[in-house]
Amino acid sequence: MGQRAAIYCRVSTADQSCGRQERDLTAFAGRAGYDVVATFKETGSGAKLDRAERKKVLALAQARQIDAILVTELSRWGRSTIDLLNTLRELENWKVSIIAMNGMAFDLSSPHGRMLATFLSGIAEFERDLISERVKSGLAAAKARGKKLGRQAGERPKSDRLASKVMALNAEGRSYRWIARDLGISKNTVADIIKRDRLSSAKGEITS
Share the mean pLDDT of the chain. Answer: 79
Report pLDDT digits (tens) over 53-101.
Answer: 999 999 999 999 999 999 998 888 877 777 877 888 888 888 898 888 8
- Residue 207 in this model has a pLDDT that exceeds 70: no
Q: Are 169 and 181 in contact (CB under 8 A)?
A: no
Q: CA-CA distance, 74 to 101, in Å (whole number)? A: 9
Q: Is 70 within 8 Å of 99 (Cβ atoms)?
A: yes
Domain 4-112, CATH? 3.40.50.1390
Is residue 192 over pLDDT 60?
yes
Mean pLDDT of 172-178: 87
Active site residue 12: yes
φ, ψ at 121 (rounded to 5°)? -60, -40
Query: Which one of 12, 80, 121, 159 is the catalytic residue?
Result: 12
Q: Specify the pLDDT at position 115.
A: 66
The mean pLDDT value for 118-140 works out to: 63
Instruction: Name the pLDDT band for 125 (thresholds 50, 70, 90).
Output: low
Q: Is the pLDDT of residue 157 over 70?
A: no
What average pLDDT does this structure show over 186-192?
Answer: 88
**Alpha carbon distances (Å) from 207 to 195, 198, 204:** 19, 14, 5
The predicted structure's pLDDT at residue 119: 60
With 60 as the cut, is the pLDDT of residue 127 above it?
Answer: no
What does the chain look like in DSSP terms, one character per residue? ---EEEEEEEESSTTS-SHHHHHHHHHHHHHHT-EEEEEEEEE--TT-S--HHHHHHHHHHHTT--SEEEESSGGGT-SSHHHHHHHHHHHHHTT-EEEETTS-EE-TTSHHHHHHHHHHHHHHHHHHHHHHHHHHHHHHHHHHTT---SPPTT--HHHHHHHHHHHHHHHTT--HHHHHHHHTS-HHHHHHHHHHHHHHHHHHHHH-
Quote the Cα angle for 180-181-183, to 5°. Answer: 65
Dihedral of alpha carbons 140, 141, 143, 149, sign: negative
The tens digit of pLDDT for each residue in 21-65 reads: 999 999 999 998 999 999 999 987 655 556 889 999 999 999 999
**Is 80 exceeded by the pLDDT of residue 174?**
yes
Percent of the chain with pLDDT over 90: 24
pLDDT (0 to 100) of residue 88: 81
pLDDT of the residue at 89: 80
Mean pLDDT score, 166-195:
87
> Given a cut of 60, is residue 169 above it in pLDDT?
yes
How confident is the model at residue 53, as a pLDDT?
92
